[in-house]
Structure 1
Amino acid sequence: MALWDRIRESASTMQTQLTAKKNDLKSGAFRDASMAMCALVAAADGTIDPAERRRVAQLISTNEVLQNFDALDLQRRFDANLDKLTADFDFGKVSVLQEIAKAKKKPAEARAVIQIGIVIGGADGDFDKTEQAVVREACFTLDLPPHEFDL
């Protein structure tokens, strides 16, 4: 199976797992951590291009799990995290990882945050090395083994 097909299949599998847990993913910690994860993956290569913003906007508006929250509020949180990352990536990353760490107390939420990162990273068919690296770093932040997610 081609790498691109495996990435697409993995993102699809992650989305299916997220949808199955929709009713368990309603906390503010999950909301904050998932938007921080989206920003971290979008900015992983040091730049945020319009296509990445559109992918996150599409995820916010169409993802069943994220429909538990107000779309405008999610967009505001995503943008605030992006602002931190674009102002100073290294310093911003520390702050964004602290947001992601909010999901640490509930393992189902922590796993869902990682799955959202994989869905965002694979949305363009290319879950590249820099995106994988920041999702792997988030795994360590959440005390989850990266190999559980093939990272």
Structure 2
Amino acid sequence: MALWDRFKESASQMQNQLVAKKNDLKSGAFRDASMAMCALVAAADGSVDPAERRRVAQLIAGNEVLQNFPADDLRRRFEGYLDKLTADFDFGKVSVLQEIAKAKKKPAEARAVVQIGIVIGGADGDFDQTERAVVREACFALDLPPHEFDL
């Protein structure tokens, strides 16, 4: 099986795991950490072009697990985190990782945040090294071992 096929299968399995836990993923910390993770992955290379911003926003709106929350609220939070990252990526990344770290109190939520990052990162068909690196950093912020997610 080609590497890309294995990755697609893995991302699909992660999405299925998220859907199975949907009813347990309703806290504000999960919501905020998920939007911070989406912004971090979208801006992983230090910039976000309008097409990428729209693509990630569409993925957020279409994600069954995130439908626990009002779409306008998710969009506002996602855009806010993106604004921090695009204004000053290094400083913004510290702030966004602190937001992600708030989900570590509940291990199931912390794992779901990482899974969302992986699903978002791979949605365009290329979970590149910069995206993998920021998701790995988020694992450390959440006190989760990156190897658990093949990072």
Cα distance in 1 for partners of 2:123, 2:47 equals: 17
5+ residue gaps, structure 2, are none
After superposition, the C-alpha distances for 1:112-136 in whole angstroms (9 at most, x for unaligned) are 0000000000001100000000000
Cα distance in 1 for partners of 2:91, 2:10 equals: 31
Cα distance in 1 for partners of 2:48, 2:121 equals: 13
Equivalent residues of 1:118, 1:135 under 8 A apart: yes
Q: Secondary structure of the equivalent of 1:78?
A: helix
Cα distance in 1 for partners of 2:68, 2:109 equals: 14
After superposition, the C-alpha distances for 1:127-151 in whole angstroms (9 at most, x for unaligned) are 0000000000000000000000000
1:149 aligned partner: 149
1:120 aligned partner: 120
TM-score by length of 1: 0.97
TM-score by length of 2: 0.97
Q: Secondary structure of the equivalent of 1:26?
A: coil
Identical aligned residues as a percent: 87
The one-letter amino acid paired with 1:11 is A
Matched, 1:90 2:84: no
By how many angstroms is 1:64 displaced? 1.1
By how many angstroms is 1:63 displaced? 1.1
Cα distance in 2 for partners of 1:124, 1:4 equals: 12
5+ residue gaps, structure 1, are none
1:65 aligned partner: 65
73-82 vs 48-57, which moves further? 48-57
Q: Taking structure 1 as reference, are residues 59 and 84 closer, same or farther at Cα in structure 2, changes over 3 Å only? A: same
2:30 aligned partner: 30
136-145 vs 58-67, which moves further? 58-67
Cα RMSD between the aligned structures? 0.9
Cα distance in 1 for partners of 2:45, 2:138 equals: 15
Q: List structure 1 segments (4+ residues) > 4 angstroms apart after TM superposition.
A: none
